[in-house]
Structure 1
């Protein structure tokens, strides 16, 4: 009998980019077997996609309720163990909730829920379930992001003074200026996306990243968001000032109307004795700056890197790794947790990241709505 983890998927069918990303990531370390799915709300479309990618259709279900009900009727050693939730935002909470209540481990796309209240409820359910929960803040899987985290923890750049996170995209720019087109994307529909578009979609990545690499927690924020048009309720651009404990401060800049930008995500952390910079579009380079030495460039796969960075490196030095590899590292960490194998804190984002992310989104919107005021987290 295969010792692979039996894996299910909700969403991610057809030409979904996110579906391909998850399927490739799950296949990387030979840890998962795609066992059952609901790829599409239409059952026949789901089965057709299953045949297209070469998996049996006997466990392609009509919806997640049927998946859970029928899987629970199977012997435990045949039942799906982990389910990935790859649907639009408004379905994350009800699906993850029902899965956790029935003992399934969950890998969930972000944002975790539609509201902070839902996030707290899901956290309580997770604590009772004994299951593994992972949130796919994919960028934490890059080896040089993990190296950055370890170097900061080791005091390489000294006490943190300033954090600067930027996430600039331009994808919504051709849509937002057309009154009809801006009604066609679910990300601008608060009933499907939640109260925020830009901060909920990409700003929360920056927020999670800065807490991940620094080990600090944001204590208060001041947000200035932009909607461009009165008939658009959702932010598509914004800047958030950040305060941590002590003297450290930061800024988070996110935009979906940064014309012609693709996926310009970067993080810089400035300490008393040095700084570290990383850019998603050039993910294999981590830059270390100090006042007494020339710029140093660290790359993945070398022995000078930390254990967690090396564990997430699949190829020899000089062979670029990218977003599929980063997601694969998250799936690898989840596999260790499901199998009760030792794993390092930080190998996959979890429930805490989701709860804090939803709190950040809601308070950023509130800070802007209340006149750009400081708001405690």
Structure 2
């Protein structure tokens, strides 16, 4: 097994790509990874220029994932990339991940993991066959207070769960959706690049993942009502999904036409003995509700938190941590897996989360298409 920093590559994430910056900051944060190269851009020359700006060895800039796999595997094991991050549009996730796993690399992949549930299930089998680690960057699971919420629910702090309510509202598509030509310029509204869903496949998926991650329950039935706004618009931009998780019931509300909203992700879980609330725009605050008692506020960095929460906190109490820190915790968990170190349960989302997510997306679209009916998940 290699020692030292994990040699790491990227597919996509080049000049001007915010998500690429997020991944690089997250990886550098724990000082566990070293970026050594990648295929950063569909334009090879732009990729080389980007690598020069980062002072990387341009000999390890590749024109394609196939070239990367071929050339990296020629290097001594101690020098070659061990893990590669996929930060490209959705339609490239599956073929790239499949090639990397077959080529012997661990994979960190943006969500959604694939374009279809069948592809996701194939990747799940391939991960098992190749004995590689696969991390899906559901970033919000990396927030310390989300992990505290998960731990408190598992410890029975709020009792048997009765209701789950998750909201994820953005407004960024609103300036594009109302004009036909502008709609054509948004790749997330193109089924060939985005898949069968825009809003639910992008942010509704995060809401679904958080519901299952924090509660430890699985959605077993759902009913959806999606909004496309215009007949010539092929993908949803807004929607509501009723969910059942065993005895518990709930709702997932997602919109990318919630005018003026930025990144309003909120989860509320109510049990027999109490409730917990967390909002991504105020991520250092977890609120506990109990009947007849004052609200209790939990904040990161304090010793009353769980071990998983403390291990996920980098700063002293009162110093806010944000989205880069959350993704950094996921990269940290993946590093532990690659280096075969002891880790906490739930430190990073796996290929199984990717399969659940793709099944959710397809069932949501099916429920809406079939007339807003209940469907088993």
**TM bracket, shorter-chain basis:** over 0.9
Match of 1:345 in 2: 345
Show CA shifts across 1:132-183 (max 9, x none): 1000000000000000000000000000000000000000001000110000
Question: Any unmatched runs of 5+ in structure 2?
Answer: none
Asked if 1 retains the 8 angstrom alpha-carbon contact of 2:286 and 2:297, the reply is: yes
Q: Which residues of 2 match residues 15-94 of structure 1 at below 5 A?
A: 15-94=16-95
Give how far 1:106 is off: 0.3
**Distance verdict in 2 for CA 1:67–1:88, change over 3 Å:** same
Partner of 1:336: 336
Alpha-carbon distance between aligned partners in 2 of 1:344 and 1:295, rounded to the nearest angstrom: 29
Query: How far did residue 7 of structure 1 move?
Result: 0.1
Quote the residue 1:376 is aligned against: 376
Number of paired residues? 376
User: CA offsets, 1:179-237, max 9 Å, x none?
Assistant: 10000011000000000000000000000000000000000100000000000010000
Partner in structure 1 of residue 194 of structure 2: 193
- After TM superposition, the structure 1 = structure 2 runs for residues 293-312 of structure 1, keeping only pairs within 5 Å, are 293-312=293-312
Please, which moves more after superposition, 73-82 or 186-195?
73-82
Cα distance in 2 for partners of 1:285, 1:244 equals 26
Higher mean C-alpha deviation, range 150-159 or range 46-55: 46-55
| 1:206-355 pair list within 5 angstroms | 206-245=207-246, 247-355=247-355
CA distance in 1, matches of 2:53, 2:231: 44
Pairing 1:118–2:119 present: yes
In 1, Cα distance between equivalents of 2:197 and 2:24: 28
Deviation at 1:78, TM superposition (A): 1.2
- Cα distance in 2, alignment partners of residues 262 and 69 from structure 1: 42
- Normalized against structure 1, the TM-score is what? 0.99
Structure 1 residue runs of 4 or more that deviate by more than 4 Å after TM superposition: none
Contact 2:37–2:51 under 8 Å retained in 1: no
Pairing 1:134–2:135 present:
yes
> Residue 239 of structure 2 aligns to a residue in which SS?
strand
Displacement after TM superposition at 1:306 (Å) = 0.3
**SS in structure 1 at match of 2:157:** coil
TM-score by length of 2: 0.99
Runs of at least 5 residues in structure 1 that lack an aligned partner in the other structure: none
Query: Per-residue deviation at 1:239?
Result: 0.2
Paired with 1:2 and 1:351, the residues of 2 have a C-alpha distance of 25
Deviation at 1:292, TM superposition (A): 2.4
Instruction: Give the Cα separation in 2 of the matches to 1:345 and 1:184.
Output: 41
Aligned residue in 2 for 1:101: 102
CA distance in 2, matches of 1:103, 1:299: 41
SS in 1 for 2:84: strand
CA shift for structure 1 position 2: 7.4
Whole-Å separation in 2 of the counterparts to 1:203 and 1:225: 11
CA distance in 2, matches of 1:203, 1:89: 15
SS at match of 2:295: strand
CA distance, structure 1, for counterparts of residue 209 and residue 293 of structure 2 = 30
Correspondence 1:347-366 to 2 at 5 A: 347-366=347-366
Q: CA deviation at 1:79?
A: 1.1
The 2-side partners of 1:185 and 1:54 are apart by 32
Instruction: Note the C-alpha offset of 1:88.
Output: 0.2
Partners of 2:248 and 2:4 in 1: how far apart?
47
Distance in 1 between residues matched to 2:65 and 2:119, nearest whole Å? 19
Secondary structure of the residue aligned to 1:170 is coil
Q: CA deviation at 1:345?
A: 1.3
Distance 1:46 1:2 in 2: 29
Worse-matched range after superposition: 206-215 or 52-61: 52-61
- Cα deviation per residue 1:72-107 (whole Å; 9 max; x = unaligned)? 111111110000000000000000001011110000
Q: Work out the CA distance in 1 between the residues paired with 2:3 and 2:293.
A: 53
